[in-house]
Structure 1
């Protein structure tokens, strides 16, 4: 006989919506930063960070640094997935947003090659790799937070919210670049390209305020209360906690 899920209380529904909204906004911020870099790699980074090589080579180097973010994304997923099980989903998602947001903000302040020489592209590459690590942790963590907060019959619906951050982040980054490219070319190349990176800190601040107000999912709280956290979470998936994702999915 099929079972019918009990209706959630008003407070539970409010918490689920808050978690979904926080996950969506965090995803928007992360993907805004990620896509913004790609656009500026095509328009600006050649002249700003690789001016001593052939323009074609400089453009290729710019896109090589863009690719570095994709290389480090799996590393971010592994690191924050591990510590998310040990320390908490919420804490890790706050940390991933800080890593991504501060890396992007720092790009807007980064001196170019003319100012500090070869250190400029090296720092740019480092910041891009940190972006990838932050996004790798954010993506899986945001979806997991929604899944663990959602009622059993709405996990797919709520876990889809972070996915909306991808096109919204792409749209907002495109709008930001469109705005600054209206400046005279000299102004855009000298300082205008930095503005979208710098204003992203406002989005990060808003996202952090919202994210700090959400709770850890019930599954993680039960694991903490039962003192069942694994020393190496990546090595096992325990089904002993009634509301843990492992046990819930195993029963289905």
Structure 2
């Protein structure tokens, strides 16, 4: 496989994994985070608070793109992409290991927000860097195609997140709240071996 295609494949796979991890958070926020991390509130308010933590990732994304874009220009895009992929994987795995409000109190939602900020920050750096690196390695007549292919990682990530939660919906409510919701986050450990360029 040529270097151009290797970079394209790595960009697509990395982007799909990053977006998968970004979207599983949104699904979990709407299904379980209100009950586990905001149980002191009315269920509707708890769900809205959980979804507001999802929004934190979108606020952190542009900041990550500026920071990692700057350092990518100075230190090299490949090293910045590796850093962003590892950051996302660590934040996602730690979210899956996070104790609930009933175990550690107010620290549970605080840590949840911090981990979500790290996810958004790293995605902002990875996504732009992956598209840019793929376009830079493409031939002059394939730049639009290569950029578009990496861009499809958003859709692939959403599809994977939906499939995983669809499979977990077969669990009983008790099992899903106890451990099932953690499975997509902990699977980030398995994805770790693919986090390289």
Give the TM interval when normalised to the shorter protein: over 0.9
Structure 2 length-normalised TM: 0.98
Query: What residue in structure 1 maps to residue 17 of structure 2?
Result: 29
Query: When the two structures are aligned, how many residues end up with a matched partner?
Result: 197
Report the Cα offset of residue 101 of structure 1: 1.0
1:80 aligned to 2:68? yes
Q: Could you tell me which of 69, 73, 76 is aligned with 2:57?
A: 69
Which residue number corresponds to residue 140 of structure 2? 152
Unmatched runs of 5 consecutive residues or more in structure 1: 1-12, 212-252
Bigger proportion of residues as helix: 2
- Residue equivalent to 1:91: 79
Matched, 1:122 2:110: yes
Confirm or deny: 8 A CA contact 1:29 1:204 kept in the other structure. no
TM-score calculated relative to the size of structure 1: 0.77
Structure with greater contact order relative to length (CA < 8 Å, sep ≥ 6): 2
Residue 197 of structure 1: which of 177, 185, 190 is its match?
185
Q: Distance in 1 between matches of 2:90 and 2:164?
A: 18
The residue that corresponds to 2:96 in the other structure is 108
- Aligned counterpart in structure 2 of residue 54 of structure 1, from 42, 60, 64: 42
Query: Does structure 1 conserve the Cα–Cα contact (< 8 Å) formed by 2:86 and 2:195?
Result: no
Separation (CA, whole Å) in 2 of partners of 1:184 and 1:151 = 51
Question: How far did 1:85 drift?
Answer: 0.6
Q: Secondary structure of the residue that 1:44 maps to in structure 2?
A: helix
CA contact (8 A) 2:14 2:194 kept: no
Matched residue of 1:169: which SS? helix
1:158-178 superposed Cα distances (whole Å, 9 cap, x missing partner) = 111211111110011111111
Residue 31 of structure 1, CA deviation: 0.4
Corresponding residue for residue 137 of structure 1: 125
**Which stretches of structure 1, 4 residues or longer, exceed 4 Å deviation after superposition?**
none
Residue aligned with 1:69, SS = helix
Q: Shift of residue 202 of structure 1? A: 1.2
Are 2:176 and 1:175 equivalent residues in the alignment? no
SS at match of 1:153: coil
* Contact 1:73–1:137 (8 Å) recurs in 2: yes
